[in-house]
Structure 1
């Protein structure tokens, strides 16, 4: 529900993101939600690159589920909202909701799981305290 979202990231649907019918190709929603996650971090004062490289707070996308409710079209301005963040020890889950700008009808609901990532050893690890505080505030 739109009113549950505490953060929104606008995204304009471009020509290359739609199929022949002008409908957003499903795979582009991954890009939209990743963009919203990055912009959420920026709103907290950090770029993802800075968190990963300077503060050793790398995470990787582990799993995502998408519920397609309606369609988005070329030229639409979408608002990718974040409505919930659940933080665990080694992972966190973000619930994204996508709406057309100015509308309350849900287009897509997504739940994405990210895990803390050790780049050197290529394995999961606990989420850093900094990342935990950014996600919890």
Structure 2
């Protein structure tokens, strides 16, 4: 799978007094994008956690281009950057209903054993689903 798109409207509570999306909310939008990217493969965060695997973010880069406003219909486009080994890296593009790019971003997460809190290799079943 090359990429996944999800679209939703900006909620009032995500904006400041000027109706502009608060920059901190974009990290949640990115999380929504990657959760849905994985879900489209048939993998949920919940199922990973039930198997004792967690995926903490170890790097987050955001480059803002334009503002998003209350009630804008925004789309998060999420793509896998590389074949995961111990880390999984995603690129994102967020744009509005007019197809204007609002921001681009990148996150790196690490596969980690929940008990030992040590990095582990990407599970084979995840790799198999990615490579289909």
TM-score normalised over the length of structure 1:
0.86
Give the Å deviation of 1:70: 0.5
SS of match in other structure, 1:132:
helix
Q: Give unpaired runs (5+ residues) of structure 1.
A: none
Alpha-carbon offset, residue 69 of structure 1: 0.5
Unaligned runs of 5+ in 2: none
Matching residue of 1:116: 111
Is residue 67–residue 110 contact of structure 1 (8 Å, CA) maintained in 2?
A: yes
| Alpha-carbon distance in structure 2 between the residues aligned to 1:23 and 1:38 | 25
Which residues of 2 match residues 56-135 of structure 1 at below 5 A? 56-101=52-97, 103-135=98-130
**What is the root-mean-square deviation of aligned Cα atoms in Å?**
1.7
* C-alpha distance after superposition, 1:27-86 (max 9, x if no partner): 100100101111112212232201321x44432111110000000001111100024421
Structure 1 residue 10 displacement after superposition:
1.1
1:87 Cα deviation (Å)? 2.5
TM-score for both structures, normalised by structure 2: 0.89
**1:22-37 superposed matches below 5 A:** 22-37=19-34
